[in-house]
Amino acid sequence: MRSEIQPGGQKARSFIEEARRDQIVRAAVEVIAEVGFARASLARIAQRAGISKGVISYHFAGKEELMEQVVDRVYAQIGEFVVARMEGAESAAELLRTHIVSVAEHMRANRVQLTALGEIFNNLRTTDGEPRYGVHTSEGLYQALESIYRRGQDRGEFRAFDVRVMAVTHQAAIDAMFAYWQTHPEHDLEAHARQLADLLERACT
C-alpha cells in the first residue's frame, strides 16, 4: 500500500510521486499538442518523459485519469491568471474586455497547453463511449459569464438579451480566436482580442 485515502478523498502523495505526476502530465501536454489526442499513446508519453510505460500505470489509475489531470492543471493555471487580472474591474464592459484580453495574453504564452486542452476536450470519452468533456461540462463557465452579462443588464449598461446565448457565443468566439491563431501564427492575437471585445460590447448595448 503506497498511500491511504484521506478524509477529503485525496491521496496523500510523497514529493517524489507528485513530481513524477507533474513530469508525466507535462509530457502528456507536449505529446498531445504535437501528435494529437488519437496518437498520444501511453508509450509515446512515457518515451517523451524518458521513463518506462509502466510508470504511468503505476502513478495514474489509467489514461482517463491522466487526461483529467492535464485538464485540471491547465484550467487551474488559466483561472488563476485571469481572475487576478479581473480583480478591480468595475463595469461589466470592463470585466468583459479584461476577460477576453487576459485569456488571450495568457494563452499566447502557453500555446501547447491550449492545443492539448482542445484535443482532450474534443476527443476524450468515458468508458461507455460518451464524450468526457463538452458543452455539458462548460456549465460552470457559462454561469460565470452569464453573471457578468446579467450584472451589466442590472446596472443598465446592457440591453435585454438572452444571457445564455451571449455566454455561449462569448466562449465560442474566444475558442475560435485561439483556433485561428494556431493555424495562422502570424495573426495578431492581441488585436483580435481587442476587436472581439469591441464586437461583444456593441452587441450588448
> Residue 59, Cα to own-chain centre: how many angstroms?
23
Count of residues near its own copies by CB under 8 A: 40
The span from the CA of 145 to the CA of 96, in Å, is: 9
| Binding site partner of 88, from its own copies, DNA, none, Cβ cut-off 5-8 A by kind | none
Closest to 73 in 3D by CA, of 104, 110, 37, 126: 110
Q: Any contact of residue 123 with its own copies (CB under 8 A)?
A: yes
Q: Any contact of residue 144 with its own copies (CB under 8 A)?
A: no
Shortest distance (Å) from residue 79 CB to its own copies:
21
* Contact track, its own copies, 149-168, x by CB under 8 A: ------------xx--xx-x
State which of positions 10-39 bind its own copies (CB under 8 A): 35-36, 38-39
| Binding site partner of 57, from DNA, its own copies, none, Cβ cut-off 5-8 A by kind | DNA
